Amino acid sequence: GESVGLHLPTLSVQEGDNSIINCAYSNSASDYFIWYKQESGKGPQFIIDIRSNMDKRQGQRVTVLLNKTVKHLSLQIAATQPGDSAVYFCAEITGAGSYQLTFGKGTKLSVIP
């Protein structure tokens, strides 16, 4: 069925290195994607979003890339810090009008000091 999924369930990186978290989506009609960060015991926290009319969007230390040809989304975190350790979810807007989010399973990012 239509779903948003992640390639890697866990990712370990050295502090200071760059991190790349990947996500595949199957609904070609999706036009809005969001990355959320979730720390243990907390709700998802908005990181960055991108609409389908864009290929790239940058924020503070984060960049989201969208490849509509292969239905792939990635989140790049520059100079990863221990505070970046969390589970990262990509989500897409589904349900025309309702703007409900469909989430993937998530990738756990562990930063090694």
Partner 1 sequence: DTGVSQDPRHKITKRGQNVTFRCDPISEHNRLYWYRQTLGQGPEFLTYFQNEAQLEKSRLLSDRFSAERPKGSFSTLEIQRTEQGDSAMYLCASLRGEETQYFGPGTRLLVL
- When the beta carbons of 69 and 98 are compared against partner 1, the nearer one is 98
- When the beta carbons of 14 and 45 are compared against partner 1, the nearer one is 45
User: Strands 32-38, 86-94: parallel, antiparallel or unpaired by DSSP?
Assistant: antiparallel
Q: Is 53 one of the binding residues for partner 1 (CB under 8 A)?
A: no
Q: Is 91 one of the binding residues for partner 1 (CB under 8 A)?
A: yes
The structure tokens listed for 32 are 């809005």
Q: Is 34 one of the binding residues for partner 1 (CB under 8 A)?
A: yes
Name the one range near partner 1 by CB under 8 A: 53-61, 63-71, 73-81, 102-110: 102-110
Contact positions vs partner 1 (CB under 8 A): 34, 36, 41-46, 49, 89, 91, 95, 98-106
